[in-house]
Structure 1
Amino acid sequence: MNAAIRTTCPYCGVGCGVLAAPDGQGGMTISGDADHPANRGRLCVKGAALGETIGTKGRLTAPRVNGDEVAWDKALEMIATRFTQTIADHGPESVALYVSGQLLTEDYYVANKLMKGFIGSANIDTNSRLCMASSVAGHRRAFGSDTVPGLYEDLELADVVVLVGSNLAWCHPVLHQRLLAAKAARGTKIIVIDPRRTATCEGADLHLAIAPGADAHLFNLLLCHLADEDRLDQDFLPHVTGLAEALQAARQSTADSTGLSPDDLRRFLALWSGHERVVTVYSQGINQSDSGTDKVNAILNCHLATGRIGRPGTGPFSVTGQPNAMGGREVGGLANMLACHLDLENPDHRTAVQTFWRSPRMADKPGLKAIDLFRAVEDRRIRALWILHTNPAVSMPEADRVARAIAACDFVAVSDIWPDTDTARLAHVLLPATAWGEKDGTVTNSERMISRQRAFMPAPGQARPDWWQLAQVAQRMGFAGFDWSGPQDIFAEYVALSGVAGALGSDFDISGLAGSDYGAMEPVRWPVATKSGGRFFGDGAFHTPDGRGRMVPVAARLPSALGAETSLRLNTGRIRDQWHTMTRTGMAARLMQHLGEPYLEIHPSDALRLGLGDATLAEVFNPLGRAILRVLKSEAVQPGHPFAPMHWTGQTASSGRIDALVPGLCDPVSGQPASKSAEVTIRPYQAAWYGFAVSRKDVQPDCAYWAKATVDGGVQLELAGGEIPEDWPSWASRLFGLSGPSAVLADPALGVHRMAFFDQGRLAAALFVARSPVLLSRPHLVQALGERDATVLAGRPAADRPDPGPTVCACLNVGLNTILQAITSDGLMTVDAIGVALGAGTNCGSCRPELATLLARPNLREAAE
């Protein structure tokens, strides 16, 4: 085995260090980097499975123009020519770039230099607009800069940690494990504020099931309580403006608006106000709102009024969703920002950057933010578009509308690693990009830690880095200053520009890294100039014109009323083992076994009222789009507020693109869409039949509903249809591309059909059909693929072979039935005892909340048994 390469995980904004060791046989051993300060050797299940996602089968390996492979020169020349001609005909505002938090900082830097400094338009935005723009706007209003004040270690130094709009256990598992370790070591109190009862609640001392959208009301009430109980920091207040105005606005909020019981509200106010060391962690539940910026500022107001900011164990903390959302913000990746945290609308800042870049022109006004950018594509104000490393035809609100706009655009280039994403299929020019493991550059995590992503495997075919693609097009457009030899040159230029920014008063200054060894660069937290990269604002010095922090009056409001009595308000988000649109995690079989198909989590009272049975299918729709989802009854969601995950695409499900139902309603300050409050109607999908299938080779179903998941040795499929085929064996043969089944079990009167296809005595495929959701052991059938199993049509293992049940611990592949059996037979009473007995929960810890739920809720054991 070769020596391990130190690199950084490509998933969430925790920024975990990873050791990647090639095994000499084309594979890779992945482990956590014990020396990296973000994770200290820990990895979540997604990070631990990275080695299973680096295959190159199906990759885009050569440029394509209109579907045909071409030489790089032709593809690059076409992009340069079309952009140049479009600018000549319609002006610089007629072209745009839409980029991604999956880009490395060096890629981001080149894209912004090209667009803002040479094309002269700020029409470059990023999918980070969808997750962190409200935090950026709130920071800039309060601090004068987009600065995260604190550090991860503050979670371990705090006496109280409040998690608001953050399912930390699933979305940032390594941080959650650090927090739980602090709770065990020093008794840290954990408060979770979330309308849903998520996995994070299992480790909390207090769960506030707040009324959806009422967060600003709650923090307004907290601000009033702090003032009324004389809990304000009189020594810090001279460093802050706006207290009186913020309090006046806050007093309009009422306890009734929160939906909380008086006891829960009193307990929260007492815990927050009664401890000096308080950290408030917030994420998408705050940001993804049409009043997200106000919610952010309501939180910041409480910390500013009490001086609980910039000191150990204190502060507001925005945790980011993407691996380089922070790096993108630092280089001005958003349409309303300039590189190195400079102000696009400040003429002195623009002049300084233009002078440094020696650019012919400079954008002098904000560009179009994501929603408006694609609206401009739709109405042909933008006629040439380049999309890099993101899939807006799935992930944008009003996804169907966005897909139609892209399809109708005069010219679309897409840089990606896969040729068949929903967005890539709409491109005129497709450019093969490098993936994680092939990229070389830097990323910045949620605590301002810059880390290296290092290449440890060759790029397949003709794949090239994103920065190279951008630079090549820039040169072909006639622009100078894009002739770097590698990412180290780009980083050196970026470091030098940050020194210019620092001289103008910017908080972002890494000029102390000038001349450092890029190849051997260790993780480093900015700023890196005259002081170390510690906390901000504890000394009362802010980046506003008067140097004082600003409290912002927040007129809290609840979401607008639903338009019809039959409507429900749909919440969307992530699940534990998947990432974005699953182009990476969907390749790892074990990551598909936890929750393997798109689903609708809905309160039992709503399900009863709507006529939705257990595990049946629900049709979810509104004027924007439609989805068909598996019904999951759960009291974890509130009545009237179902939840659906956002990961499924046109490649993994027939109708699971949930963002097609999310309206393009945005926060007026940040431009961030409200992704958690779509008004929808729900009704049962009238399936004439349900099915489950396994196959050793990939297949493309032809039925009304299907969801496909990678498994060891093949794929599994959930199926349903509105019409019953006349001949099930023939239908199955077409589905699998195989001759007639080797074994058939059928009872047409009951609507039961089971058939298996064997190749040289080994199971190649199987289909199970029933009139109601198919009950059988899915793990057993997956394990039977490629095996000699004459009993496969039974749908469950023989008596002498235990059925592990659905996967709970994906790291060690421990199933629900195995865990329940051990709890019952061995008398296990704690999560740690389960870990000792079975190993579940001992690796990344992501499943520990679910283990705690199994122990705490005996009814779940009975239901599973």
Structure 2
Amino acid sequence: MTEAIRTTCAYCGVGCGIAATPLGPRSVAIRGDEAHPANAGRLCSKGTHLGETVALTGRLLHPVIGSKRASWDKALDLVAKRFRETIARHGPDSVAFYVSGQLLTEDYYVANKLMKGFIGSGNIDTNSRLCMSSAVAGHNRAFGEDVVPARYEDLDEADLIILVGSNTAWCHPIVYQRIQAARAARGTKLVVIDPRRTETCEGADLHLAVKPGTDVALMNGLLAWCDRHGGTDPTFMQRHVDMPEDFWEHVRSGHDLWTTAKTCDLAPAVLQQFFELFAATPRTVTLFSQGINQSIRGTDQVNAIINVHLATGRIGKAGAAPFSITGQPNAMGGREVGGLASTLAAHMDFAPDNVARVGRFWAAPNMATKPGLKAVDLFRAMDEGRIKALWVMATNPAISLPDAGRVREAMASCPFVVVSDIMADTDTSAHAHVRLPAAGWGEKDGTVTNSDRTVSRQRPFLPLPGEARPDWWIIKEVARRMGWRNAFAYDRPAEIWREHARLTAYQNDGQRLLNLRSQAAMGNEAYDAMQPFRWGGRPSRMAGFRQPMARRGWF
């Protein structure tokens, strides 16, 4: 029997380990990897049925220009030529990449390097923007870096778990199973905060059906309650937290129990029950997801949650943390290498020192100096004629972005659209001038990072079908044809991983927790054999940093 290959599930940010055993051409048996820390062998229904996704029905197997099959050389030459000409005529901000949390970290890294370091624009954004940008901004406000100060083991050690804006039972089933196991083993209490009564609520000790949009008021009411009833941790705050002088004045004003209950449309008795439970339970994990993030006030809502944990010392300790759980399998890896238009690389922003630092490391001739267009703005700019060449990778914005009709109109009017995908016909590829066949889940080779910062290998267990190629290979071949051969001289994903690791460590004086120095000299065999590991170690490391209370998230 063929030996099982350890890889990672392609569905969500839990990052479950998979043992995939090839059974024949385009056939594989799937089971959970018992040695993987994210799932310990458990799989949800989606992961269990991954074997049904590897058939070649509908696959894009050859490059296509217009409606005709083309060679790789002809397709890549055309992409490089049109991007080069567009930049020469209209400037670097006239082109854009729209990428995806389905890309591996190595794919993301090469795309980001090409756009921000060599084309010279910040116009690379990701569909992860739609689900995770609020969490990213909230983490940066609170910690100065996009770090998740939690780990899955905290769920096993918590005495209270609060789910905010998350139907965990459906969206992250393995996390929900872990929560239920903690309840059975330790009597952990579960509170669900959600305007809807979902399946997740059915197993909760308390459901707070808050009025939509009142999460900030709820968390500030909780913070005011803890302040009034001795539930804050002044020693922790003095040692580790910076706050404006008028912080408590704002929190105490208008956030009493009765006002908060009225604002949130909750019975005061139910709200008091929640406040008392929280105050009495130091080991508390607050998990939040899209119900918090996907809001016009998403970042403020994230910071309101984090502020409660900072003020009460429920962070950097076993079983106590605010915990953002991501949607896509590699949303976190993309954030680490600069996949968002608002970030640079290696958890650096566009501050002049960071721009200069990354420019030196890459020996980049055209470093972007400012953030680029975010997802929705990018397609609006295209509709207005400002984006004249677009490359879409591993996503389908024609149906997944807000105002999809306008997105389709924008792509239809764009002079040059490239789509890299595994599928031959999608709503987005209908607008493509060039279609490039990418590797699918079972054929990809690289790494992903899950919601609790655990890096796992995604290993191929099927051969590349037809003329399909990995995304990193496609990107670097275009970069070489655009004139940057030496900077994109990658032959395997291990080389890209080492470069990414070196950049995280480059002139890192300890101000950035993302530091993969130990990975920077990893050999090819060691990369192939890489075991799952969590960067940043235990979240208690965060106790060494001073963390500011966010001014926003008060109101």
Would the aligned equivalents of 1:245 and 1:552 in 2 still touch at CA under 8 Å?
no
Mean CA deviation greater in 453-462 or 253-262: 253-262
Alignment of 1:317 with 2:323, yes or no, is: yes
2:539 alignment partner AA:
R
1:269 alignment partner AA:
F
TM-score (norm 2): 0.96
Structure 2 residue runs without a partner (length 5+): none
Structure 2 SS opposite 1:407: helix
Structure 2 SS opposite 1:437: helix
Structure 2 SS opposite 1:131: helix
Would the aligned equivalents of 2:26 and 2:55 in 1 still touch at CA under 8 Å?
no
1:151 alignment partner AA:
R
Alignment of 1:435 with 2:440, yes or no, is: yes
Would the aligned equivalents of 1:419 and 1:425 in 2 still touch at CA under 8 Å?
no
Would the aligned equivalents of 2:117 and 2:365 in 1 still touch at CA under 8 Å?
yes
- Which residue does the alignment assign to 2:270? 264
1:579-606 alpha-carbon deviations (Å, 9 max, x no partner): xxxxxxxxxxxxxxxxxxxxxxxxxxxx
Would the aligned equivalents of 1:246 and 1:554 in 2 still touch at CA under 8 Å?
no
Matched residues in 1 for 2:100 and 2:518: separation? 27
Would the aligned equivalents of 1:165 and 1:283 in 2 still touch at CA under 8 Å?
yes
- Which residue does the alignment assign to 1:422? 427
Alignment of 1:409 with 2:414, yes or no, is: yes
1:252 alignment partner AA:
G
Alignment of 1:218 with 2:212, yes or no, is: no
- Which residue does the alignment assign to 1:108? 108
- Which residue does the alignment assign to 2:553? 554
Alignment of 1:525 with 2:534, yes or no, is: yes
If you compute each CA radius of gyration, which structure gives the higher value, 1 or 2? 1
1:658-695 alpha-carbon deviations (Å, 9 max, x no partner): xxxxxxxxxxxxxxxxxxxxxxxxxxxxxxxxxxxxxx
- Which residue does the alignment assign to 2:516? 510
Q: CA deviation at 1:348?
A: 1.5
In structure 2, relative to structure 1, the CA distance for the partners of 1:144 and 1:211 (3 Å cut) is same
Would the aligned equivalents of 2:338 and 2:345 in 1 still touch at CA under 8 Å?
yes
Matched residues in 2 for 1:94 and 1:536: separation? 44
Matched residues in 1 for 2:64 and 2:542: separation? 53
Q: CA deviation at 1:218?
A: 0.4
Cα RMSD, aligned residues only: 1.2
Matched residues in 1 for 2:88 and 2:540: separation? 45
Matched residues in 2 for 1:26 and 1:369: separation? 38
- Which residue does the alignment assign to 2:293? 287
| Alignment map for 1:127-206 (pairs within 5 Å) | 127-206=127-206
Q: CA deviation at 1:504?
A: 6.1
- Which residue does the alignment assign to 2:459? 454
Matched residues in 2 for 1:41 and 1:165: separation? 27
1:63 alignment partner AA:
P
Structure 1 SS opposite 2:230: coil
Q: CA deviation at 1:555?
A: 4.5
Matched residues in 2 for 1:103 and 1:96: separation? 17
1:535 alignment partner AA:
P
1:266-306 alpha-carbon deviations (Å, 9 max, x no partner): 11101111111011000000000000000001101101101
Q: CA deviation at 1:554?
A: 2.4
| Alignment map for 1:2-13 (pairs within 5 Å) | 2-13=2-13
- Which residue does the alignment assign to 2:491? 485
1:143-195 alpha-carbon deviations (Å, 9 max, x no partner): 11111001101011111000000111111100100110000000000000001
- Which residue does the alignment assign to 2:359? 354
Q: CA deviation at 1:131?
A: 0.1
Would the aligned equivalents of 1:443 and 1:452 in 2 still touch at CA under 8 Å?
yes
- Which residue does the alignment assign to 1:535? 539
Matched residues in 2 for 1:504 and 1:98: separation? 32
Q: CA deviation at 1:244?
A: 4.9
Would the aligned equivalents of 1:342 and 1:501 in 2 still touch at CA under 8 Å?
no
Structure 2 SS opposite 1:22: strand
In structure 2, relative to structure 1, the CA distance for the partners of 1:538 and 1:526 (3 Å cut) is closer
Higher strand share goes to which structure?
Answer: 1
Matched-pair identity in %: 57
Would the aligned equivalents of 2:304 and 2:554 in 1 still touch at CA under 8 Å?
no
Alignment of 1:399 with 2:404, yes or no, is: yes
Alignment of 1:364 with 2:366, yes or no, is: no
TM-score (norm 1): 0.62
- Which residue does the alignment assign to 1:469? 474
Structure 1 residue runs without a partner (length 5+): 528-532, 557-865
2:181 alignment partner AA:
A
Matched residues in 1 for 2:138 and 2:507: separation? 21
- Which residue does the alignment assign to 2:44? 44
Would the aligned equivalents of 2:346 and 2:514 in 1 still touch at CA under 8 Å?
yes
Matched residues in 2 for 1:71 and 1:512: separation? 40
Matched residues in 2 for 1:248 and 1:378: separation? 46
2:538 alignment partner AA:
G
Structure 2 SS opposite 1:236: helix
Structure 2 SS opposite 1:260: coil
Q: CA deviation at 1:24?
A: 3.1
Would the aligned equivalents of 1:11 and 1:47 in 2 still touch at CA under 8 Å?
yes
Structure 1 SS opposite 2:448: strand
Matched residues in 2 for 1:25 and 1:62: separation? 19
- Which residue does the alignment assign to 1:99? 99
